[in-house]
Amino acid sequence: MRKRLILALMLFFVSLVVSAQGLYFDIGPGFGLGWTKIDGKDMVDRLDPSNDMAFSVGGKAGYGPFGNIPLYAVAEFTGIDHRIFNDSSNIQLTSFILGPEVLFYPIPLIQIGMSMGYSFVSNQTDVQGLELYKSKGGYAYN
């Protein structure tokens, strides 16, 4: 645990001094609670889970800044996995997005972005009577 904390602090301090000029590349994970509704019903409330967690991993590549404006044009690929489970039930909701994104840095450590593009999902469950939809693909934003 101590090694992970030291590594996280080192990465944080390195990110304070690194800035992209020209080619831009960004990759990283995230975790926390997730919220998923199907047919207007919150899946977390439906299962009364002992565990509810969401994990994401994504990557971005692009170019910037343009002129004196800290604006970057990038392509994003992100996957988000939301798992809701208790002793007898398990739902895994996984979604992906692939598309263009625009990033703006008002100050070097703050990123504001918007992406939209192709999205698809892959859902699994062992809950009897719950129908999860398979996606042929569609559009999403982030």
pLDDT tens column, 2-39: 777 776 666 665 554 455 578 888 888 888 877 776 66
Q: What is the pLDDT of residue 130?
A: 67
Residue 65: asked if its preceding bond is cis (omega within 30°), the reply is: yes
The predicted structure's pLDDT at residue 83: 83
Q: What percent of the chain has pLDDT over 90?
A: 18
Higher pLDDT, 76 or 137: 76
This prediction has a pTM of: 0.66
Phi, psi of 11 (to 5 degrees): -65, -40
Alpha-carbon gap, residue 38 to 11, rounded angstroms: 38
Query: Using the 8-state DSSP alphabet, how is residue 129 labeled?
Result: T
